[in-house]
Structure 1
Amino acid sequence: MARVRTTTGSWTGKSKPAKVEIYTRWSFHSFAAIEVGLVGLPALSRTGSPAGGWFLLLVSAHAIVAAATSSYALSWALGRRARPIRLMAATAVLTAAGSVAAMSQFPRDPNVGEAESAAYLLVTFAGFGIGALVIGLRRVRSMLLTVLAAMVVVGLAGLGYRLPIGALLGGWLGVLTAGLALTFTCGFSVWLVKSVWDLDSARELQTRLAVAEERLRFGRDMHDVMGRNLAVIALKSELAVQLVRRGGTEQAAEQMAEVQRIARESQREVRDVVRGYREVDLHTELEGARGVLEAAGIGFQLDLEGAGAPAGATVEGAGGLPGLTPEARSALGWVVREAATNVLRHGDARDCTVRLAVREGRDAVLVVENDGLPEQGVLARVGSGGTPTTAGAGLAGLRERLATLGGTLDAGPVAGGRFRLTARVPLPAPEAAESAESAEAAEAAEAAAGSAGSTPSVHTATARPVSSEPLSDEVTA
């Protein structure tokens, strides 16, 4: 039997596409049990011995081969193995042989009981055989031709046995009905499994493309920031070398001082780019979470009471969340982003509630709660007390990010079949917050003053003393 792509061994730990595939695969396998239990065993008593024993053996062999064909053909349809040509040929031969044998049991006189028994055998062989064969076909035309071939075999067998026209038409009608029904059922089931896997692959590809796009954006930002400055540094350094060789040491010193200034300016700009890359905005993340969750059919409720906004206020009405420091807003923004992603990926949530509160101006508490419990494989990575132990990189990364601010992160199931994620970030005293804001304002003013003047040309520079600060400082983010 073909393997099923899955992440873990237990049913609860499997992905949703894997569950759909397993359900479909075992639905095909159930046809074998139905064939043997409801048709093969009754044939043993209806047709008598030893003919009944031979029919039971033929039905059992047909059921086993058809089940194997269904399993391998499904794996072929999903692109995991070659088409099972030999198994399909064996299924076709056993189906034809069983149908011909079933036609031999049709009575020459209108005996209703014997006619029904033979009809059961015929429909079983033809219907389940066609259902197994169409799984290994791609085109609908080929599937319909399989049904037509089965009707031709039944017609030729009926003519060979010289059956009455009524029995022959009844056999045709039974094969046509069972063949079309199982063709539609099996063909649609395979298409559904393929579609689910394709959607899952498309979602993974979309995630990779988003990461690649973000890397390209970051690369463009770095090029825009550093490209011009590095070109100017190279030109001015070359000019300084030429001036030194000609004895113009004073002019060379001026050029190198300008090189030092541009290098430090580039250092500051790189810090700004990396800081913007790493930081997120809580306002944007809350609105983004609302949009993606509502688009997925998940209700979203936001409560910003105690965070500088009245109960039930929207993000716009929160006035930029004045009760939170920039560091806290950035850290909680990452929590909202990861929590919204987990709601979409794990469990089948119908509603999600986000509560943000500032407790007595000392702690910022963000609670994200939804009614969709993650799969068992995810819950197994959450320790007692709701603290992640060996959770994935998402929760582990959030805990590390909050720990740098002295915060904590708790996650786990709660009463009522809900899942809750709680993030706590301590806030500085009001005096410390004002000092930090003043320092940030001063740094911003200094950066604006430093970039107010245009970069001097290569051939002229304003005289300034050479700074004694080293140029080998590493750029930090």
Structure 2
Amino acid sequence: MRGPGSWWRGKSTPAKVETYTRGSFQFFAVVEVAGAGLPVMGQIGGGLGALLMLLVCAHAAVCALTVARAVDWVRGLREQPVRMLWTLGALTSAVAVTAAAIAEYGPGGEAAESAAGSVFGVVMVFGVGIMALGVDGRRHVYAIVSGFGAGTAVVVFAMDGSVLAGLVVGLIVLAGSGFLAFTAVFSVWLLKAVYELDEARETRARLAVAEERLRFGRDLHDVMGRNLAVIALKSELAVQLARRGRPEAEEQMIEVQRIARESQREVRDVVRGYREADLGAELSGARGVLTAAGIDCEVSGPVEGLPAEVQSALAWVVREATTNVLRHGNAERCAVSVRVREGRAVLTVENDGVAGAAGKGGGSGLAGLRERLAAVAGTLEAGAEAGVFRVVAEVPVTAVAV
């Protein structure tokens, strides 16, 4: 069986703030009835006491309903409760004037006058303060508070004939209702801020998930792109050899099987997030794959001594560039070089298959490489020039090493 504690703990932080805001302002209705309504029955009594008690209860009920609808409006769950605000304003004025009239002209002594005066003050302060919950803009709040304060001074002066009494009571109502109105405005601001913060956190979480999905898709593209291209190439070669009755067909299919298993392992590593590309292995693999495809491949440059992050980033460039040569170009020659220049590791991949190569910066693969290199402060340039398609990747060695 769930208790009150579990009900409260099950709420989110914005829901807790909303519940607290609703409960706090609706509790004013209980305070109004208990603090101002009940004493009226004992100190005034009779028909006037019952009438004033009934008006206080009606005013408290309208206040509670206004709080509910105003908070719903703040949350964007309904339109602004304009009619309810006008109803509360009119009822507040009516109850206040009735209480002032009973205090001034009604039967009873000082106790009855004090009870009716309490009703007047409580109704004015609570009514104006709760109206501020459903008002948009500080100027409107200022207008309501100052308007009811001035109206209070006028009513007291008209009934009592004393300017001083009107000013004093008006200032008391102005101060009390102003303080409660300020509390209402601050509560609305806090409630909106908490929900906006919660929405921002949800948005950040969704962006993190989307970024992780993009990273996973990029890694999967990098892993499977070259391997599938090699599998397709070797399978086609095995078919041609098998048709001629050549025994090398079996060797090609064994190689296809090996690459397929390697792809399966790499996909598992991508899913687990443990895979790091090795530059030396990728250079050797690129030379072997391109040579098997009939492309003269030359690899040069030192690999040893480069930081692991640099090697991993450049290895992905080698893999993507090799895939593009196999897929998009009709190259006959490809050159891959690695060198360190002015504290930066520079990888250059050139091929003469410009006709079918990817355009400048085109393709999701190159875009993924730019994102990957940007993570290590690297850059990527790709484009055709003088009949050669060139990919150049640069990664700062010193910055990554630190």
TM-score range, shorter chain: 0.5 to 0.7
1:107, 1:114 within 8 Å by CA — same for their partners in 2? no
Aligned twin of 1:471: none
Q: Report the CA distance shift for 1:205/1:106 in structure 2 as closer, same or farther (over 3 A).
A: same
Aligned twin of 2:15: 18
Deviation at residue 138 of structure 1 after TM alignment: 2.9
Aligned twin of 2:294: 460
Give the letter aligned to residue 48 of structure 2.
A
Give the alignment partner of residue 100 of structure 1, picking from 86, 89, 97: 97
Give the letter aligned to residue 221 of structure 1.
D
**Mean Cα displacement is larger for which, 201-210 or 87-96?**
201-210
The higher radius of gyration belongs to: 2
Aligned twin of 1:139: 137
Q: After superposition, where does 1:231-380 map in structure 2 within 5 Å? A: 231-237=229-235, 259-276=256-273
TM-score, scaled relative to structure 1: 0.51
Aligned twin of 1:195: 193
Deviation at residue 221 of structure 1 after TM alignment: 0.8
Give the alignment partner of residue 230 of structure 1, picking from 228, 251, 258: 228
Matched, 1:29 2:20: no
Deviation at residue 222 of structure 1 after TM alignment: 0.7
Q: After superposition, where does 1:358-437 map in structure 2 within 5 Å? A: none
Aligned twin of 2:77: 80
Aligned counterparts of 1:255 and 1:11: Cα–Cα separation in 2: 66
Deviation at residue 55 of structure 1 after TM alignment: 1.1
2:73, 2:134 within 8 Å by CA — same for their partners in 1? yes
Deviation at residue 233 of structure 1 after TM alignment: 3.5
Q: Deviations over 1:293-342 (max 9, x none)?
A: xxxxxxxxxxxxxxxxxxxxxxxxxxxxxxxxxxxxxxxxxxxxxxxxxx
Aligned counterparts of 1:46 and 1:163: Cα–Cα separation in 2: 25
Deviation at residue 248 of structure 1 after TM alignment: 9.2
Deviation at residue 252 of structure 1 after TM alignment: 6.9
TM-score, scaled relative to structure 2: 0.60
Deviation at residue 181 of structure 1 after TM alignment: 0.9
Q: Report the CA distance shift for 1:53/1:115 in structure 2 as closer, same or farther (over 3 A).
A: closer
Gaps (5+ residues) in structure 2? 297-402
Q: Deviations over 1:225-255 (max 9, x none)?
A: 112232343355556667888x696787776
Q: Deviations over 1:327-364 (max 9, x none)?
A: xxxxxxxxxxxxxxxxxxxxxxxxxxxxxxxxxxxxxx
The structure, 1 or 2, with the larger RCO (C-alpha pairs under 8 Å, 6+ apart) is 1
Aligned counterparts of 2:18 and 2:28: Cα–Cα separation in 1: 16
Q: Report the CA distance shift for 1:8/1:30 in structure 2 as closer, same or farther (over 3 A).
A: closer
User: Helix, strand or coil for the counterpart of 1:11?
Assistant: helix
| Amino-acid identity (%) | 47
Q: Deviations over 1:60-95 (max 9, x none)?
A: 110111011112211221223333333323211111
Q: Report the CA distance shift for 1:197/1:9 in structure 2 as closer, same or farther (over 3 A).
A: farther
1:122, 1:171 within 8 Å by CA — same for their partners in 2? no
Aligned counterparts of 1:457 and 1:233: Cα–Cα separation in 2: 14
Give the letter aligned to residue 270 of structure 2.
V
Q: Report the CA distance shift for 1:39/1:218 in structure 2 as closer, same or farther (over 3 A).
A: same
1:103, 1:154 within 8 Å by CA — same for their partners in 2? no
Q: Deviations over 1:369-414 (max 9, x none)?
A: xxxxxxxxxxxxxxxxxxxxxxxxxxxxxxxxxxxxxxxxxxxxxx
1:106, 1:163 within 8 Å by CA — same for their partners in 2? no
User: Normalized per residue, which structure has more helix?
Assistant: 2
Gaps (5+ residues) in structure 1? 1-6, 279-443, 463-477
Q: Report the CA distance shift for 1:127/1:223 in structure 2 as closer, same or farther (over 3 A).
A: same
Matched, 1:219 2:217: yes
1:229, 1:262 within 8 Å by CA — same for their partners in 2? yes
Aligned twin of 2:163: 165
Q: Deviations over 1:203-232 (max 9, x none)?
A: 343333323322221111111111223234
User: Helix, strand or coil for the counterpart of 1:80?
Assistant: coil
User: Helix, strand or coil for the counterpart of 1:456?
Assistant: helix
Q: After superposition, where does 1:167-186 map in structure 2 within 5 Å? A: 167-186=165-184
Deviation at residue 33 of structure 1 after TM alignment: 1.6
Aligned twin of 1:391: none
Aligned twin of 2:66: 69
1:100, 1:157 within 8 Å by CA — same for their partners in 2? yes
CA RMSD in angstroms, aligned pairs only: 3.8
Aligned counterparts of 2:183 and 2:55: Cα–Cα separation in 1: 24
Q: Report the CA distance shift for 1:170/1:8 in structure 2 as closer, same or farther (over 3 A).
A: closer
Deviation at residue 47 of structure 1 after TM alignment: 3.9
User: Helix, strand or coil for the counterpart of 1:269?
Assistant: helix
Q: Report the CA distance shift for 1:116/1:94 in structure 2 as closer, same or farther (over 3 A).
A: same
Aligned counterparts of 2:295 and 2:241: Cα–Cα separation in 1: 13
Deviation at residue 263 of structure 1 after TM alignment: 3.4
Give the letter aligned to residue 73 of structure 1.
A
Deviation at residue 449 of structure 1 after TM alignment: 11
Give the letter aligned to residue 196 of structure 1.
V
